[in-house]
A and B are shown apart, each in its own frame.
Chain A
Amino acid sequence: MAMNDAGAAGPKTADDAPARPAGMPMLHKAIFGILLIFLLALPFLVYPIFAMKVMCFALFAAAFNLLLGFGGLLSFGHAAYFGGASYVAAHAAKVWGLTPELSVLAGTAAAAFLGLIIGALSIRRQGIYFAMVTLAFAQMVYFLSLQLPFTGGEDGIQSVPRGDLFGLIPLQDNISLYFFVLAVTFGGILFLYRIVHSPFGQVLKAIRENEPRAVSLGYNVNRYKLLVFVLSATFAGLAGATKSQVFQLASLTDVHWSMSGEVVLMTLLGGMGTIFGPLVGAAAIVTMQNYLATLGAWVTIIQGVIFVIGVLLFREGIVGVISRWLKRPL
């Protein structure tokens, strides 16, 4: 539904965007190809559940990056869509007995709806005020998740069944579930890539660089901002809904404000405004959290140190630096 709007607003961009070669550049094609081959082999190299977690967070960070990196909007409440969708998807699978793909869609739709309401109200403000408004709404969603009867309070929704995909293919096995998650997240990331490189994405970048100029060129800036906000919330929701199917639970961790902070960290560390940065950032952070778990409180300290080093030495993030060396956008 959201894309129809983009199409309707699209034609105007023809005179704005510089002429670009049609389709995906070879370099990106190659990277996506290698990534796909790597991901197909991954469940046989590492523990599949861990790999699925990384992919869910990669999609989450990529969705956040659409808003921050390409829309220039710093939301500090993305946990609301991620966690909100995971609650709805978990409830749909457990109580309504929906199949996994329908549960994920239900969660995603809920996130889109949430994004529409919160987005419509928060894009009226800019900068720090925008961030604070989104944070305030996210805290409301956290409160609701704690209090509403269907969420199970601080216990969360537990023992969500792993159903049969389309009612046919059983997903109880880790490997078959892995390929379902791979399809969802990889598809989601390709879709985000397409959005960024569409005429709609060009207008977004224009707004990010110089909003008054975009207004003077005749763009309805608020409409673009709302749309990118909803899209970002939707894909964050897709990631959260998928995560709830992987872990078979939805809990307060996913709606907590620290989750909103984590996704900012992943995006900045990997490289804001790059396609592959959020994926690298998410993989780095999740791997650290997983393999340094025994160090306890040191994990957050190490994360903080890495973040400080990142900001001081390579402000464009890991992929941003590589992209500068290669002199190609990644």
Chain B
Amino acid sequence: MLKRIAFGSAIGALAAGGALAQDIDVTLGVLNDRSGVYADLSGEGSVVATRMAVEDFDAAGKGLNVEIISADHQNKPDIGSNIARQWYDVDGVNAIIDVPTSSVALAVADITAEKNGVLLDSGAGSTALTREQCQPNTVHWTYDTAALANGTGGAVTNAGGEKWFFLTADYAFGHSLEENTMAVVKENGGEVVGNVRHPFPSQDFSSFLLQAQGSGADVIGLANAGGDTVNAIKQASEFGITQAGQKLAALLMFVTDVHSLGAETAQGLNLTEAFYWDQNDATRDWSARFEEAHGAKPTMVHAGAYSATLAYLAAVEALGSAEDGAAIVAKMKEADIDDALFGKTKVRGDGRAIHDMYLFQVKAPGDSTGEWDLYEQISTISGEDAFLPMLDECDFTKK
């Protein structure tokens, strides 16, 4: 059922073990969606990114025998938790990586704490991972919904988009995204002129979009995700909403979504991400290598899987063992990380990784030089402003 990729040939490991007197077995499990809606933004790409991290860390040379296994949780928490348990109990997995879909991530976080493993979450967005359900064994690397709301809400409002209209998916995730963003918009002197709730999932957004168009708002905030966001953007493009001067702001969207929509349809869209391949030499270089192995540019989730794995391996090397998950996470929290992809990063006491976030605008087709040349960076949101402040009871470094 599981795909196994072994690293470090026996000979290499023996040679290194002899030289360094350190021989640590580490098994990493990449658990994500490999067939459903999140397969493009996580999926096999996260396995590739994790493998790159192991190679770049020179694990074999440092006496770490790293094995990577992967599985598909199908976005179902019972399947995900079953695999996670089995990995810890039977397959000797030390850390689980990626885990998009909040419900699965929360289930895996609990099991990880129970089994004293490590959860390096890159794909999930729920703030509960480091708040209501915080655990000493969780590191939440890439983004969360609060950071996206802060980024898009704050930066777009400051850039002059003061009147907001929200198009919100009618379930808990949509509500919290809307609520977070509304608060940020008001804090920055903006105004919410209206909102409409659409059923989840939804195919037809025409009446909601017409309401939004008639509301006189500068910005239409899309507090939904996945197929809903894509449908809403497509239909907004058909109605000529952005061409008529209103801005669209997607609150949860990935570069792969924009890529599949194309610059023609998505142009002018504002969105926040933690990583974009074309930011600097380091990200361009890494992304080129990634593309060679995987056939597409990386998303921020892939980048997060890479960087979190690097930080994790450094902590394992420092401790000389991969057994005690809580100790490894505590070690990761001590480190001042200067990451090639995320810049200066600090893992906070609650497991939240603090790094800069960026507001992007999708380029018009005329300005885009290639199929992946999609974003123009508008502003940088510092980590302190982007992420929610830490809850006292979740600061595991104090205890």
A50-B82, A155-B126, A293-B71 in contact; A248/B110 too (CB < 8 A)? yes
- Beta-carbon contact of A247 and B76 below 8 Å: no
- Beta-carbon contact of B39 and A152 below 8 Å: no
- Beta-carbon contact of A251 and B79 below 8 Å: no
- Beta-carbon contact of A47 and B89 below 8 Å: yes
A251 to B172, CA, bound (A): 13
Q: Mark B73-96, 1 if CB is under 8 A from A, else 0.
A: 010111101110110011000000
**B-side contacts of A146, CB under 8 Å:** 171-172, 200
A147, A174, A294: most-surrounded residue (chain B CB, <10 A): A294
Chain A interface extent, by class: 20 to 34
B1 beta carbon closer than 8 Å to chain A: yes
A253 to B103, CA, bound (A): 11
**A-side contacts of B79, CB under 8 Å:** 289, 293
Q: Mark B168-184, 1 if CB is under 8 A from A, else 0.
A: 00111101000000000
**A-side contacts of B77, CB under 8 Å:** 156, 158, 247, 249, 251, 253
Question: From B86, which residue of chain A is reached at the shortest CB distance?
Answer: A47
A293-B72, A293-B74, A296-B35 in contact; A154/B173 too (CB < 8 A)? yes
Question: From B34, which residue of chain A is reached at the shortest CB distance?
Answer: A296
A153-B172, A155-B103 in contact; A49/B1 too (CB < 8 A)? no
B133 beta carbon closer than 8 Å to chain A: yes
Question: From A254, which residue of chain B is reached at the shortest CB distance?
Answer: B78
B2 beta carbon closer than 8 Å to chain A: yes
**B-side contacts of A290, CB under 8 Å:** 1, 82
- Beta-carbon contact of B171 and A153 below 8 Å: yes
**A-side contacts of B200, CB under 8 Å:** 146
B36, B70, B175, B200: most-surrounded residue (chain A CB, <10 A): B200
Contact of A296 among B72, B83, B85, B103 (CB under 8 A): B72
In B16-63, the 8 Å CB interface with A consists of 34-36, 39
B102 beta carbon closer than 8 Å to chain A: yes
- Beta-carbon contact of A294 and B72 below 8 Å: yes
A153-B172, A154-B102, A155-B126 in contact; A249/B35 too (CB < 8 A)? no
Additional pairs, 11, CB under 8 Å, beyond known A154-B171, A249-B103, A293-B1: A50-B86, A158-B106, A248-B81, A248-B107, A249-B107, A253-B77, A290-B1, A293-B74, A294-B34, A296-B74, A297-B35
B interface with A by C-beta (< 8 Å): 1-3, 34-36, 39, 70-72, 74, 76-79, 81-83, 85-86, 89-90, 102-103, 106-107, 110, 126, 128, 133, 170-173, 175, 200
